């Protein structure tokens, strides 16, 4: 399959999954009068993802008409994508067992090294102590900021 067609198919699948998740997120109960409902953020984000994926499908079709030389996704690239989806799904699953703070911290701690390991030009970064220091600070700050915004500012309870 040609690269632009392959990207269009993946984007279409992403749009369908995001649309399904958007509709599913609307069923999340809660939210008092005058406050943001827990379903608001997931609904808006999945709607935006679906919209951007559809725009990418259109762009891929237009690119395909102009140039037919886009490379197809390699087997390794497909495996990396599948592993990323598995890890992200595991994060959502672990939230129910370990809680938001622990699972989010671990996810933010493990994803940058994963991305470096699958990237050909960044594999050497993982062995450096400075890399791990930055990733740990990023994971701590990211977890704290996300928690602060949703729990303290928006009053969303997990």
Average pLDDT estimate for 113-119: 77
Same domain for 60 and 81, yes or no, is no
Query: Which residues make Cβ contacts (< 8 Å) with residue 107, sequence separation at least 6?
Result: 87, 88, 91
What is the reported pLDDT for 138? Answer: 94
Q: Residue 137: pLDDT above 90? A: yes
Answer whether residue 158 is part of any domain. Answer: no
Same domain for 79 and 117, yes or no, is yes
Q: Can you say how many angstroms the Cα of residue 17 is from the centroid of all Cα atoms in its chain?
A: 13
Higher-confidence residue: 69 or 118? 118
Same domain for 86 and 104, yes or no, is yes
Average pLDDT estimate for 75-103: 81
Same domain for 80 and 53, yes or no, is no
What is the reported pLDDT for 12? Answer: 85
Same domain for 130 and 80, yes or no, is yes
Same domain for 58 and 79, yes or no, is no
Among 32-36, 128-132, 145-149, which is the least confidently predicted range?
Answer: 32-36
What is the number of domains present in the chain? 2
Domain of 62 in residue numbering reads as 3-67
**% of the chain residues with pLDDT over 70:** 81
In the listed set 26, 48, 67, which residue is the last one of a domain according to the structure? Answer: 67
Provide the 3-class DSSP secondary structure of residue 34.
Answer: coil
């Amino acid at each position: 399959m040609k690269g632009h067609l392959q990207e269009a198919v993946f984007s279409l699948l992403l749009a369908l999954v995001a649309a399904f998740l958007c509709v599913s997120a609307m069923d999340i109960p809660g939210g008092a009068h005058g406050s943001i409902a827990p379903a608001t953020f997931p609904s808006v984000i999945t709607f935006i993802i679906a919209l951007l994926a559809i725009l990418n499908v259109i762009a891929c079709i237009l690119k395909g008409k102009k140039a037919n030389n886009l490379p197809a996704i390699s087997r390794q690239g497909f495996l990396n994508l599948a592993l990323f989806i598995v890890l992200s799904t595991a994060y959502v699953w672990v939230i129910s067992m370990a809680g938001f703070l622990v699972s989010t911290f671990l996810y933010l701690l493990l994803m940058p090294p994963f991305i470096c390991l699958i990237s050909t030009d960044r594999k050497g970064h993982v062995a450096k102590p400075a890399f791990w220091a930055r990733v740990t600070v990023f994971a701590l700050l990211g977890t704290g900021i996300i928690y602060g915004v949703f729990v303290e500012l928006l009053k969303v309870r997990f």
